[in-house]
Chain A
Amino acid sequence: MSKFFRRFFEKLIEGILMLSGTVTSLTVLLIVVFLFSEGISLFNTSPVENKNAITVNHHNPVGHLSPAQVKDIFDQKITNWKDVGGKNDSIILFTINDISNYYSEEEIGSNFEFLPEKLDKLVDSIPGLLAVFNEKYVSKNFHGTVVKIDKNNLPDFISGTQWFPTAEPVVQLGVLPLIMGTFWVSIFAILFALPVGLATAIYMAEVANEKVRNIIKPIIELLAGIPSVVYGFFGLIVIVPEIQKIFNLPVGETALAGSIVLGIMALPTIITVSEDAIRNTPRAMKEASLALGANRWQTIHRVILPYSMSGISAAAILGIGRAIGETMAVLMVTGNAAVMPHSLLQPVRTIPATIAAELGEASQGGVHYKALFALGCILFVITMLINMWVEYISNKRKFTR
């Protein structure tokens, strides 16, 4: 009986262990489900916020507009209907706040009961009018045309260059500046960190004696343990003002500041991974090179480095992956301007920083909220691809050895 009980107990524990083993897979699955269900629901929704209706006179041939066109019209960059496929007639803008220019309060009624009727009359009487008002004020026998606005879609989302997720009346959701900002900051960070990190890795693996290495190694580990918000704070207090002074800029919060901070943060990853790769060079190869009369430097740069190249590239890619996903430090030092980056001395904004800065203000289930989840999806896909790539490289290394 007790034997049976014991076997039952063993099986039970094994079951619990197996269950715990599946937790990570389950989590990844759940992350994918939640992220993508919110993110993908952005598409095929309307970018028009607050249930606004955009209406024109019924003689106006313009039946639909893109969000970018609406923005240009409201920014007065487009002032003539012919620029958006209509007649040669200047555009007269009207929002509900302008109603007092046309009608008195008595005419509208104390409870706005005559507003739909008056709006209808207004749109009908002015041919060049573009009127924006809540769709509940569109009267039943409305004479004008309600303009269709292009729905949010993936190509525009990825390739759009305007990120104004709270713009009125139509939000602008173009994430290209954010994607470019993320890559700029991360790639320049690696350009700083890779030479320094690689040199340190070579020094630790091949040059330094055991004693020095035993001092450096824990310090590098400590560098990895410092919270990112502390790096951000240091960047904000020290690096940002320095950059402002050296380059004589109006603000020091720039892509360069972000790259430097991220570069410092990427160092431990690059150093540890490439040091491992360098140490994995077979002893026989090193000794063969030395026996042929090469000195240590020649051995390093003709034998060890070529041999460990794939490991070093894995380190660089992994570093980029870390840098792309880093949030707080970047949020604190890059200035967060959602514009296409042209130079390192300009404020930029990355995808994680955008999510962190804006999710708090976005109302749950709104267009902005969904757009931020869609950004999260992009981030997830990018980092996933990078992880797979690193996995591929290091697996290849194992097989060729």
Chain B
Amino acid sequence: MNKRIKEKIAFWVFRLLSFGVLAILFSILGFIFVRGIHVISWDFITKMPEEGMTKGGIYPAIIGTLCLVAGSMLFAFPVGVLSGIYIHEYAKDGFIKRLIKLMTNNLAGIPSIVFGLFGMALFVNKLKFGDSILAGSLTLGLLALPVIIRVTEEALKAVDDSFRQGSLALGGTKLQTIGRVVLPMALPNIITGLILSIGRVAGETAPILFTVAAYFLPKLPHGIFDQVMALPYHLYVISTSGTDIKASRDMAYGTALILVLLVLILNLLSNALRKYLSKKVKMN
């Protein structure tokens, strides 16, 4: 009897704590949603900030974040996927493969602020890009690289070896096998991972602090050497060091909600896409 009661108590503790975790998440999301929802309007999304960022919208920050996401993915996605293909399909087990994997893991573990320092030292100062979209995108791209590589590897691992052998047996070369058989099958998972890494890149603040982010810049960028505002940095600025923190509180709630919605939508999108694409691949 005693051991049954113990089991009951233990399981209830686990259950309560698990629901506690969920409660924390929902309270964060709920709080931001409730406080932010009345701030968001068409004007909020499409207007420049006004009156020391206490009024107006966050249009330039949204555009800035989009530029940074696009720029970083343009760099990180091809390199990451190619790198993942090399590690999983070409590299032979041994020292080189172990080294590459170790380095990828290490890169994933490096704190984002160190990426910021590095980006500033290399792209901004050494290569003289200045505070620019180019410098910020490359820094963010490097940050996203290990995630994309890992996702690609996992996706390739999930493709059964019999497909490879089948293609090779039919006379296909290694490249044809990968390009026509393996990659199309792995694509859904790769794209899912890509979408998730977009969410990560969009929300990062530390790497862009010194490589691109502008405190207040009410105009749109004209080229890759321009500075931009960015959503996460904007949220940081108006909640800690704006001209009038109290007055810009509403703007902060709105910005936070936009960021959360962005992540939420990307999450849902990647889940939906995974389901849709994997169905399609199966049908073929």
A356→B266 CA distance, assembly (Å): 28
Minimum CB–CB distance for B263 against chain A, Å: 5
Which residues of A have CB within 8 Å of B248? Answer: none
CB contact under 8 A between A233 and B114, given known A23-B145, A204-B18, A219-B25 = no
CB contact under 8 A between A17 and B21, given known A207-B11, A227-B205 = no
Query: Is B276 close to A, CB under 8 A?
Result: no
Query: Is A337 close to B, CB under 8 A?
Result: no
Q: Given B17, B85, B91, B196, which contacts A225 in the complex, CB threshold below 8 Å?
A: B196
Minimum CB–CB distance for A335 against chain B, Å: 12
Q: Is the CB of A20 within 8 A of B259?
A: no
Query: Is A376 close to B, CB under 8 A?
Result: yes
Which residues of B have CB within 8 Å of A226? Answer: 28, 203, 260, 263
Q: Chain A: how many interface residues by the 8 Å CB criterion?
A: 84
The interface-forming segment of B39-47, B158-166, B235-243 is B235-243
CB contact under 8 A between A384 and B106, given known A225-B196, A226-B260, A328-B236 = yes
A200→B24 CA distance, assembly (Å): 13
Q: Given B14, B90, B100, B117, which contacts A203 in the complex, CB threshold below 8 Å?
A: B14
The interface-forming segment of A24-32, A51-59, A308-316 is A24-32
Q: Given A9, A202, A218, which contacts B271 in the complex, CB threshold below 8 Å?
A: A218
Number of interchain pairs (Cβ within 8 Å): 244
Which residues of B have CB within 8 Å of A332? Answer: 236, 239-240
Minimum CB–CB distance for A399 against chain B, Å: 14
Which residues of A have CB within 8 Å of B117? Answer: 34-35, 355, 359, 372-373, 376
Query: Is B278 close to A, CB under 8 A?
Result: no
Which residues of A have CB within 8 Å of B82? Answer: 16-17, 20-21
Which residues of A have CB within 8 Å of B209? Answer: 356, 359-360
Query: Is B168 close to A, CB under 8 A?
Result: no
A328→B233 CA distance, assembly (Å): 9
Which residues of A have CB within 8 Å of B122? Answer: 30, 34
Q: Given A14, A31, A264, A359, which contacts B24 in the complex, CB threshold below 8 Å?
A: A264
Q: Is the CB of A24 within 8 A of B113?
A: no
Q: Is the CB of A14 within 8 A of B90?
A: yes
Minimum CB–CB distance for A179 against chain B, Å: 14
Which residues of A have CB within 8 Å of B273? Answer: none
A302→B266 CA distance, assembly (Å): 41
Residues from 99 to 123 in B contacting A, C-beta threshold 8 Å: 99-100, 102-107, 109-118, 120-122
A295→B4 CA distance, assembly (Å): 8
Query: Is B55 close to A, CB under 8 A?
Result: no
Q: Is the CB of A229 within 8 A of B13?
A: no
Interface size class of chain B, counting residues whose CB lies under 8 Å from the partner chain = 35 or more
Which residues of A have CB within 8 Å of B145? Answer: 23-24, 27
Q: Is the CB of A328 within 8 A of B206?
A: yes
- Chain A 224-246 near chain B by CB (<8 Å), digits 1 or 0: 01111111111011100000000
- Chain A 189-209 near chain B by CB (<8 Å), digits 1 or 0: 000000111011011100110
Query: Is A62 close to B, CB under 8 A?
Result: no
Q: Is the CB of A383 within 8 A of B17?
A: no
Of all chain A residues, the one with the shortest Cβ separation from B215 is A360
Residues from 61 to 106 in B contacting A, C-beta threshold 8 Å: 78-80, 82-83, 85-87, 90-91, 99-100, 102-106
Q: Is the CB of A391 within 8 A of B102?
A: yes
Of all chain B residues, the one with the shortest Cβ separation from A31 is B118
Query: Is B282 close to A, CB under 8 A?
Result: no
Q: Is the CB of B31 within 8 A of A216?
A: no
- Chain B 159-197 near chain A by CB (<8 Å), digits 1 or 0: 000000000000001110000000000000000000010
Of all chain B residues, the one with the shortest Cβ separation from A387 is B109
A231→B99 CA distance, assembly (Å): 35
A295→B1 CA distance, assembly (Å): 11
Which residues of B have CB within 8 Å of A326? Answer: 111
Which residues of A have CB within 8 Å of B222? Answer: none
A27→B207 CA distance, assembly (Å): 15
Which residues of B have CB within 8 Å of A204? Answer: 18
Minimum CB–CB distance for B155 against chain A, Å: 16
Minimum CB–CB distance for A136 against chain B, Å: 28
A229→B206 CA distance, assembly (Å): 9
A352→B207 CA distance, assembly (Å): 11
Query: Is B136 close to A, CB under 8 A?
Result: no
Q: Is the CB of A34 within 8 A of B121?
A: yes
A227→B143 CA distance, assembly (Å): 14
Q: Given B79, B91, B105, B199, which contacts A387 in the complex, CB threshold below 8 Å?
A: B105
Which residues of B have CB within 8 Å of A129? Answer: none
Known A216-B22, A222-B264, A233-B252; further 10 A-B contacts with Cβ < 8 A: A204-B18, A221-B267, A222-B263, A226-B28, A229-B233, A229-B235, A230-B28, A230-B260, A300-B10, A387-B105
Give 5 nearest A-B pairs by CB, closest first. Answer: A325-B111, A227-B203, A297-B7, A20-B82, A21-B86
Which residues on A are within 8 Å of B, measured CB to CB? 6, 9-10, 13-14, 16-18, 20-25, 27-28, 30-31, 34-35, 38, 195-197, 199-200, 202-204, 207-208, 216, 218-223, 225-234, 236-238, 264, 267, 271, 295-298, 300-301, 321, 324-328, 331-332, 352, 355-356, 359-360, 364, 372-373, 376, 379-380, 383-384, 386-387, 391
18 A/B residue pairs, CB under 8 Å, sorted by A: A9-B175, A10-B175, A20-B86, A23-B79, A31-B115, A199-B17, A204-B18, A219-B22, A227-B203, A227-B204, A229-B259, A230-B232, A300-B10, A325-B109, A325-B110, A332-B239, A376-B114, A384-B109
